Amino acid sequence: MRIEVLIDVKTTLGEGPLWDAEQERLYFIDSFDGRVFRTTVDGREVRSWDVPAKIGSMALRKDGQGAIVSLQTGFHALDFKSGDCDLIVDPEADKPTTRINDGKVDRRGRFFAGSMDTKEEGPLGALYRLDPDFTLTTIDTGIICSNGPCFSPDDKTFYFADTWTGEIWAYDYDISTGAATNRRTFTKVDTSKGGAADGSTVDAEGFLWNALVYDGRIVRYAPDGTVDRIIDMPVKKITSVMFGGPNLDILYVTSMAKPPLPRFPDDPVQRGSTFAIYDLGAKGLPEPRFGA
C-alpha cells in the first residue's frame, strides 16, 4: 500500500470524491468555498465550477448535462457547459442555520442527501431522497450532521451516519420503492478520541470504508460491523473516501485545509489535499448517476 497526494488545491473543506467511470474523471468539492473540481486519474488536468452557496455533495446526471448538487440553499441542477446552477427545491428554507450535506445515488437513480446544523450541535437536520422526477421525500429527522450515505452491493442495506452520535447506522433498503426502514446501529465510533464518522463508501465485497475526520484514520468495516482494517493518513482532517481509477482499485480521500470550528485540530502542509491510496487489494463499484 502507498499513499500519495493526487492534487493539492488547498480545499478549505474538501469533500465528496466521486469517480466518473464513464469518462474516467474524479470529481470532488470544496464545501466552504462553493466549488466543484474535476481532475484526471493522474491529477494533472483540472477543471472547476463555482456554485452560488456552500456545497455538501453532488451526483452526476444520466443525461450527461451536469450534476445535481446539494447546497446550503437546497438541491440545484448544475450545467457543466454553461455553469448555470438552478434551484430544484429548498426543503429547509425556513432553517437559516442548516445546510444540505453529504449525499449518494442509489442504483435506481435516486439521490439521498441529508442536512446538518452548521454549528454541529443541535438535531436540526433531516435525511432526504430526491427522485429523478424531482419529487422530494423526507426519510429521517432529528440529525445533527448528516454524513456517509452509501448502499450495500445487493441493494438491501442503506448506511448513514449522524457524525456526532458516534454511530454509523444501517437501514433495511427496498430498491424498488426507495424506502429505508428499521434503523439500527451498524457500528460505534469512539468520539472521545476526537474523531468522528464522516464520508463512507462500500467496496465490491460489501465492506464499508469510513473516514474518521479529526482522527486521521480510515476504517474498513466488515458487513457485520466489526473492524477489518485501519489506515493511518498523513493528515488528521480527512473527510470522505471513494474508489476510482480505471480498475476501481484506487481509494481517493479528501481533506480540509481549515477546521470549520476552533475546537478542531490543525494539520501539516498536506492539509486540504486530495489523496490517492494504491495497492489496497480491494475494489469499489461504479457510482450510479442521477436520473431515470
CA gap 112, 114 in Å, rounded: 7
The single residue of 33, 102, 162, 198 carrying the catalytic annotation is 198
Return the SS3 of 191. Answer: helix
What is the C-alpha separation between 118 and 86, in angstroms, rounded?
A: 23
- What span, in angstroms and rounded, lies between the C-alpha atoms of 183 and 172? 7
CA distance 36 to 16: 10
On whether 182 is known to bind a ligand per the annotation, the reply is no
22 annotated as a binding-site residue: no
Per the annotation, the verdict on 198 as an active-site residue is: yes
**Cα–Cα distances in angstroms (integers) from residue 268 to residues 7, 258, 263, in the given order:** 16, 11, 17
Please check if 99 is assigned to a binding site.
yes
E strands within 52-165?
55-60, 66-71, 74-79, 85-89, 98-105, 111-117, 125-130, 136-143, 146-151, 157-162
Q: Is residue 147 marked as binding?
A: yes
Task: Confirm whether residue 101 is marked as ligand binding.
Answer: yes
Residues assigned a catalytic role: 198
Q: Annotated binding site for substrate, which residues? A: 99, 101
Q: Annotated binding site for a divalent metal cation, which residues? A: 15, 147, 198
Q: Annotated binding site, which residues? A: 15, 99, 101, 147, 198
